[in-house]
Each structure stands twice: as structure tokens, then as C-alpha cells.
Amino acid sequence: MIDEMINKPNLLIVDDSKYLAGRLAERAIDGGVYNPVVVHSYSELTAILKTSTVFFAGVIDLMLPDCADGEAVKLTIEHNIPSIALTGSMDETLRNKIIVNPIVDFLLKTSQEDIYSAISLAEHIYGFKGKKVLIIDTSPTRVKYLSKFFQELLFEVISVDTADDAFEILNTMNDVEIVTVNNERSDMLGSDIIKNIRQNPQIRHSMKNRSVVTFGISSESSDYLRSVFIKSGANDLLSLPITKEEFNAKVLNNLNMMHTVEELKVKNEELKSTVKVLEEYNKAVDAGGIVSKSDVDGIITYANDAFCHLTGYSREEMIGKPHSIFRHASTPKAVFKDLWDTIQAGDTWMGNVKNVRKDGSEYYVFTTIIPIKDNHKNIFEYVAIRQDISELVKNREELQNQFQTDPLTSLGNRTKMLNDIKNIEQPMLAVVDIDRFYEINGFYGNEIGDNVLKELGDRLFDYFCDKIYSVYRINSDQFAVLTCENCINSTTFTSQVMAFSKMVRNCTFRIKDIDIDISLTTCIVEESGDVLSKVDMSLKSAKLAKKDFIVYEEGKISETKAYKNNILWTKVIKSALKNDMVVPYYQPIYNNQTGKIEKYEALMRIMHGKKLITPYHFMDIAKRTKYYPHLTGAMIKKSFDLFSKTRNILSINLSVEDIANKETLEDIYEYLEAYMIGDRITFEIVESEGIENYEEVESFIRNVKEIGCSVAIDDFGSGYSNFEYLMKLKADYIKIDGSIISKICEDESALSVTEAIVTFAARNSMQTVAEFVSNEAIQAKVLELGVNYSQGYLFGKPSSYLIK
């Protein structure tokens, strides 16, 4: 920012009114090009002019508290600063007094228009600097008179006597902005000179077809003479003598008009080029895509050859028909409602659509429909561009079928069963597990074992052959039968499953002349939700109780200690979120260079009753539930809310799971935008050695750094740590793991590791933070090693408030 201000040209603003000076400065800053320098008195002005600061122009108040007679304007003029004078009132006497000074202009500061004009005029002056004016005049007096006015606006003046000299200059110089020509001449009328400048091909070529502002000059004010000059191509007639105000106004207005015309010429050429490019794009799209157009009612107005070939209709058969002639009966109406709602709102719709050809066969297209709008943003046409994905869909369906089929038994697999359960309101599931199947494989070999599985699968399929049942092989030695309460009542289903189990126990499987007896453990689950967990608990419970049949009932199955623990902590987490009991605790981070606490790490806690619970007890379980992203979101929001009211720096932990979670990222970006404290946020990436998708993490780091955040790698040095991923992640801070720091006073290995990390960090412009600094001895060693920051009980335990 400072470098930018240094490189910007300085505009001097002198006014005793801080409000008015502020308005002028704001107006100057708005353009983003100038650096306003404001002073409020003559003494301040004197002081700043003694410095080396260079000003391209000044806006100067005539009346200041310590000078009331225009001395400030005289002083700026003495320092060769083009000056625009401001006054609170204007009369003829004051005007005559002011204009004896070579000022650019004088304006009333009581008028908002004049205030804006002052800055606008100053900006023009900067733009005029070095621009050339050609004065064609035979009178030295007029040349001197006009030159004074132009030079006060910082123009560079060239003067010649004759038309021939003027034409030679214009043929060789292409940077002349303004030409003035006096009318009373002996060699050629002034109006003819201007006509020649406008029409001479050689001059136009030299000027690169750029317009130049031309003024006729006359000592009389004549409407006839003005019309003669304007017909010859002049912009205006300047009648001398002329007031400074009128001169400046005519020069500025005509230059602005000329620049506007030049810009319009450029834009017109760009528009022509754009139209040409769009025409080429249209050709490319039409040649490479399946394209149709329709009116606002969906009536087809155009179809390319590819669309005709795909649908089997001729162009004549399609034009004038609605797109609904291609609609397949199986495509849900909701698809078309969404399509029309989207495009009628003026947005582009994209999606896969199943359609039907003229011969009745079906095809699939990925379709993009774009609303075309007029200059008033009214839709007048829709363009549809398609890609034929029929083969892709066919292959996907085949792959999906393979993916959901057990290759050994050709029954549906576990994936298919879970998908089918999702589509049933009241599912009933029976699972049969072959007891000690591993013994069959071990005793007879895998080939015999596979045949046993196929035989059992066939018998299940034959027994439950009614269409109300679906049969699956869901594990190596487990099969399932799925139905629903709407198809068969629970008692009948249970009876049929028990009958099948009994039948299998009472029969022998004959495989390749070998008789094999098998027994089954069977369970029935009549609830949705986490079905496989309930199946697993039921089968384990049945086998522990030495039962061969069990029906799952909530609360009556003897869950293992681990299950109970998971359920307990899941309830605690859910309750904490519901009752706003997720609380951030903040541990101070000490700057070893400044000797001050400058940062805080936010650490998650749950308040359960009167007990404060650390993540050690619940975090692993939380990550396996749907509640984990909500815990992260609550921490970020509460921490951001507190730190938006302070000037401290916040460090907050994010796991790889957080970065991979779309909702969590959306929350982070939303809070960063809402609280606008990105420059005071450090995201600590924990468990970074477990990163698998580096692109995902690198993208996150890149995005938050653009907002001003910094990034730290937490617990570095623990477990499997390497310096390669530090380079990949472009971290700003390395947090050295507490298990290392706590041992650096007595363990040479810990000391060596810390030294290596500090050296690496310094060479790569990263800073280091020592964790678990619990006493003065460890801190002394940390300081000796050159670690930048320290964190630990020596400086403060985690607290619900900020320790200073």
C-alpha cells in the first residue's frame, strides 16, 4: 500500500475546512490514480513545500486562518505548481485580483459541482502534461496570449507562422492534441487550413486516423465566421480576448468529446471483432454439437443436421413442433418443471435427459439450454446444445449391474441390498450366516467352499422365489432376504425364514460326491436405520447365547461395551449441539521476539452438566457420526464472533476431514466474508501426515491465503512426518509437537529434531511454534534454538477467556 502511494502522483489540497478538504481528498482517491496530500493552513503549506514532495497540481483556498489575501496561491505558483483557486464568494473585484496570477482557474467552493470540477480539472492537468498544442498564427501577440493559457494547463506549445510549416509538423508528428488557426492570414484562410487537416490523407495517416481538436481564432465574435469554421471541420471558434473560464471550458469539453469519439471508435472495432468471433463460435458449435433453437414457448425454430440424424426426424418435421415430441414417458415431470423454472428465470439449465426417437427407440443426451436475451434482458429464444451419451449410459448401467451383483452366486450383493433398503418404507430383513464356514474352506478347500455358497444361494433363491422377496449374498458366508411389511406381515415372514433354516439343518449338501452338513445362525431385523450394525449385533448376541435364531429388538440385544460407549458419546455430542454446549477454550501463544502474548489457539470443549469434556473422550467417535461437521462449524462461528471484537490473532484447528467436507468449507468461507478478520486467522491443519488428496488441501490453502489467512501444520515431528509435504502445503507456521518439546532438555534426539525443524523453517521463510512449554527450563532451550513462538502451561492453560 505504501509503495502504491509513493508511486502515485501527488495532488496538493489546501483548505482550512477539514470537511471540505476531506471531500476533495475522497474525490481524488475515488479514481485510484492520485495521492491527495491535505494541509489546512499557510504554515503547514510552507512546511510541506520545503520537503522534496512533488505535486502535479494544487487545489488552493484563497482564505486561510493565517493568510487572508491569497498568499497561499502565490506561494504554490512560485513553486511551479499549477494552481486551481477556491473561494467562498465571488465578485468582480476579487475576480480581477485573482486572475493577475497565472492560475489554472478559480472556482466557488460553496458549489458541489465546482468542488467536483476542481478535482476533475486537476486530473485533466495531469493528463495534459506534455501533450502538444500547435498554434498557427502570424501574430506574436496572439501566440503569446494563447500560449499562456495552454501552458497554465501544462500543454507543450509549438507555434508556426505558415500553413506549409503546420502541414509539415502534422505530417511528421503524431501526438498533437490541439490545433489553433487564426482566420486573418495572407497564405490561406484559417478555415481552409482546418479543412486540409481534416481531409488530407497524408496527415490522417501520420496521425494514425486519430482525431485532433481544432479551433478557429478570431479577434471578433461572429456567428457567420463560427459557422464557416465549423463547416470546415473545426470544433469551435475562440473569439479573443477570452476569459480564462471560457477558454478552459471549451478546451476541456472539446477534448473530452474527442476522447469519447475515439473510445467509441475503438469499441466499435472491438464489437465488429466480437461479432466475427461469435459467428465463428456459432459455426463451431453447430458443426460439433447437436443443436436446436426454440421460441419462448418451446416451439422448435431451428435444428441442425446432427439433431435430425439423432432423432430420426427431418428438419421440416421438427420445425414448428414443441420439444415434447421427444419426451420419454419414464422421464419424471419434475425434471421438466425444473428445466422450465430455470430457463424462464434467465439461467442456464444443464442435465441428462432420456428421450425417444421417431422410431420409438430411446436415447440419452446431456443437454445445456441457454436463454438468449435482448438489450433489455428479455428472453426471446432458447438454444439447446446436446451431447449423445446413450452409449455411456448403457455402459454405466452394465457396470452398475456388475457392481451390484455377486460374481459367485449371481445374486445381488451388499451394495444392492443397501440401495434397495433405501427405497422401502418398512423393510424386513433376514440374514443367514453359515456357522464356522472357515472350517469348510480349511478342511475341503476353497473350491468346495464356493460350491457350498452357490448351493445355498440357489436354495434361498428357489425358496423365496416370490416377487415380494429379494435375495442377496452380502458377505463371504452371509446371505440376506429382503421384503417389506406392506408385502407380507411380520409373523408370516419370520415363520418362513425359520422354516428355511430348519430345512437346511435337516438336509445334506452333496458337493462332488462329498456330503457336507451345515448349520445356520439367522436373525431378522424389522427396522430401518443402521441395518448392518443391528445385524452384526444380533448375530453376535445369538452366537454368544448359542441360539440359531434371533429377532432384533431395540434395547433387548446385549450390545458390547464398545457399542454402548459409542451410543453414549453420540448422545452427549448431539445434546451439546442442541443445547449450545460446544465451547471454545483459548490457550495463549507467546511471541519470543516481542515478549508478548499475541495469538490464541481455539480448543474445543463440551460442557456436559457441570463437567468440561476434552476432545480426547469424544473426537474419534464424533468423526464417525454426522455431527462432526456441526462441531467444527460451532467452534469457528463462536471463535470468529469473539475475535471480531478484538485485535488478537486466532489459531483454529482443521482436520483433513474438515477440508474434505463441502458444508464445512462453505461455512468457513461464509464466516470469513461476514466477519472480515481473515488477516488475523491461522488455520492449523491437524493429522496432516494422513493427507491423501493433496490437491484438495492445496486448493483450500490457496483460497484462504487469498483472503489473508495464514496456515500452520500442527504436531509436526510426531508419527510419520516429512518435510516434503511441508513444501507442498506452503505452510506459514510449523507447530513442533509437544512430545518432542517436552523432552528437549534431557533427550538429544528431541533436541536434534527440533534444531532440524527450526533450520528448515528459517530457510523456507516459515515460523515455528513450540508446544507443551511447561517450565522455564524448556522455554530457555526454545529461545536458544531460535523458535519464534511458545505455547504451553508456562504462559497459560486453555481458558474460556483471553489470558493477557
Instruction: Please determine, for residue 733, whether its predicted confidence score (pLDDT) is greater than 90.
Output: yes
The pLDDT value recorded for residue 248 is 79
CA 475 to the chain's CA centroid: 45
Which region among 136-140, 235-239, 535-539, 697-701 has the lowest average model confidence (pLDDT)?
535-539
- Sign of the alpha-carbon dihedral angle for 736, 739, 740, 743: positive
- Tell me the pLDDT band of 768, cut-offs 50, 70 and 90: very high
Separation between Cα atoms, residue 9 and residue 129, nearest integer Å: 12
Arithmetic mean of pLDDT, 133-142? 90
Cell of 661: 467436507
The pLDDT value recorded for residue 1 is 35
Separation between Cα atoms, residue 681 and residue 296, nearest integer Å: 50
Arithmetic mean of pLDDT, 757-784? 93
The pLDDT value recorded for residue 32 is 61
Mean pLDDT, the chain, integer: 84
> Is residue 208 within a helix (H) or strand (E), and if so which, with residue range?
none
Q: Are the C-beta atoms of residues 369 and 379 closer than 8 Å to each other?
A: no
Helices and strands per DSSP (H, E), number in the chain: 31, 31
- Sign of the alpha-carbon dihedral angle for 752, 758, 759, 761: positive
384 backbone dihedrals φ, ψ, rounded to 5°? -110, 125
Arithmetic mean of pLDDT, 115-120? 76
- Tell me the pLDDT band of 719, cut-offs 50, 70 and 90: very low
Burial of 225 (0-12, 13-18, 19+ CB in 10 A): middle
- pTM for this one? 0.37
Arithmetic mean of pLDDT, 49-75? 85
Which region among 32-41, 98-107, 713-722 has the lowest average model confidence (pLDDT)?
713-722
pLDDT tens readout for residues 282-316: 666 666 678 899 999 999 999 888 899 999 999 99
Separation between Cα atoms, residue 353 and residue 340, nearest integer Å: 14
Instruction: Please determine, for residue 504, whether its predicted confidence score (pLDDT) is greater than 90.
Output: no
pLDDT tens readout for residues 512-548: 778 787 878 888 887 666 777 778 777 777 777 777 7
Which domains does the chain show, CATH number per domain?
Answer: 2-126 (3.40.50.2300), 130-265 (3.40.50.2300), 294-394 (3.30.450.20), 408-559 (3.30.70.270), 573-790 (3.20.20.450)
Rg for the chain, CA atoms, rounded: 42
User: Which residue from 431, 558, 536 is spatially nearest to 494, judged by alpha carbons?
Assistant: 431
Separation between Cα atoms, residue 516 and residue 175, nearest integer Å: 104
The pLDDT value recorded for residue 508 is 80
How many percent of the chain have pLDDT more than 90? 27
Separation between Cα atoms, residue 627 and residue 661, nearest integer Å: 12
Arithmetic mean of pLDDT, 688-707? 82
Give 349's strand partners.
369
The pLDDT value recorded for residue 649 is 94
Arithmetic mean of pLDDT, 659-681? 92
> Is residue 733 within a helix (H) or strand (E), and if so which, with residue range?
strand 733-736
Q: How many CA atoms lie within 13 A of 100 on its CB side?
A: 7
DSSP-assigned states of every residue in 367-407: EEEEEEE-TTS-EEEEEEEEEE-HHHHHHHHHHHHHHTB-T
**How many residues are given for the chain?**
804
Which region among 1-5, 220-224, 470-474, 644-648 has the lowest average model confidence (pLDDT)?
1-5
Separation between Cα atoms, residue 533 and residue 429, nearest integer Å: 13
Q: Are the C-beta atoms of residues 482 and 506 closer than 8 Å to each other?
A: no
How many percent of the chain have pLDDT more than 70? 90
| Comparison of pLDDT for 561 and 412, the residue scoring more | 412
Q: Which strands form 427-434's sheet, in the order they lie side by side?
A: 470-475, 478-484, 427-434, 520-525, 549-551
Around Cβ 786, how many Cβ atoms within 10 Å? 15
Separation between Cα atoms, residue 411 and residue 408, nearest integer Å: 8
User: Which residue from 734, 656, 635 is spatially nearest to 698, judged by alpha carbons?
Assistant: 656
pLDDT tens readout for residues 168-182: 888 888 778 899 998
The pLDDT value recorded for residue 449 is 86
Buried b vs exposed e over 94-109: b needs ≥16 C-beta within 10 Å? eeeebeeeebbbbbeb
Instruction: Please determine, for residue 381, whether its predicted confidence score (pLDDT) is greater than 50.
Output: yes
